[in-house]
Amino acid sequence: MKPIIALTIAGSDSGGGAGIQADLKTFSALGVYGTSAITAVTAQNTLGVQGYVELPPEFVGQQIDSVLSDIGAHGVKTGMVASAPIIRVIADRMVKHQVKNLVVDPVMVSATGHHLLAEDAKESLLTELFPLAYLVTPNLPEAEAITGDAIRTLKDMYAAGEKILKLGPANVLIKGGHLPGEDVIDLLMGSVGAYEFRASRIETTNTHGTGCTLSAAITAYLAKGEDLVAAVDQGKYYITRAIDSALDIGQGAGPTHHFWNLWRD
């Protein structure tokens, strides 16, 4: 059997709940062989991000070249891209290697409020990486930062989606977990049409790495040949079950359970 391969380009989370670690766990849980290119190394746990160090942009590019020139990838996702020079290198390599299934998770600020994208890098993210993306996956705070508009309702999410699509990605998935309500609504818009994905809200503080995990799950399903609507639907189911089975680890926000479908009590 020829393996399905997905590449994650993101930061390393020393706590294991987000970033590269979450992506590789998700790929593995969904039967996809995961490869990686690390953009930054964080000192991080369930209480927050204590610091991070960026890798040299040229070395990030070298990692991507090493993977794609030899192993290849059926899907690629980006997470923490850290700085404008790193973003430019990633965009250059996506074009060079003619990457098709590119999922961009616009990681800007951690759940605990630590900035993970340099102030001067936002424009590069929007103008250089977004136009190459098949899908971008902002949460509400990220969508607000991208559009400059407050998002308080589902109608606002639709308006934000239209604005983000004008930046060039083929599709956008706005994650509505920050909106109040019994259901969590994620909104997919773009070349595939418009779809609302609903799931019952799970009351838990153990949600560290949910954005990374969902975008990795979608990337895995795209790599396996699913169409985007099915990939989002299955990715949403996967992350919902991972949150529902979240691990009580550390003193703060624990991680989701990436292997909920494999581990036994």
Q: Are strands 183-190 and 171-175 parallel, antiparallel or unpaired?
A: antiparallel
Catalytic residue among 35, 175, 213, 235: 175
- Within 105-156, strands assigned E span 135-136
Tell me, yes or no, if 100 is annotated catalytic: no
* Interatomic CA distance for residues 122 and 207, integer angstroms: 25
Active site residue 46: no
Q: Is 211 a catalytic residue?
A: yes
Tokens encoding 43: 């000192």
212 is catalytic: yes
**Given the residues 15, 16, 79, 209, the one annotated as active site:** 209
The total of other beta-carbon atoms located within 10 Å of residue 65's CB is 15
The Cα–Cα gap between 7 and 175 comes to 22
Question: Which token pair is 233?
Answer: 């639907």
Give the integer Cα–Cα distance in Å for 99 and 89: 14
Quickly list DSSP for 232-265.
HHHHHHHHHHHHHT----SSS-PBP-TTTTT---
Residue of 137, 212, 219, 236 marked active site: 212
* Contact indicator for 239, 214 with CB cutoff of 8 Å: yes
Q: How far apart are CA 152 and CA 178, in angstroms?
A: 9
- Give the strand order in the sheet containing 33-45: 48-54, 33-45, 5-13, 75-78, 102-104, 135-136, 171-175, 183-190, 193-200
Of the candidates 46, 207, 213, 256, the residue annotated as catalytic is 207
Q: Which of 210, 213, 240, 256 is catalytic?
A: 210
Residues 6+ apart with CB under 8 A from 95: 132
Q: Does residue 15 have an active-site annotation? A: no
Residues annotated as catalytic are 175, 207, 209-212
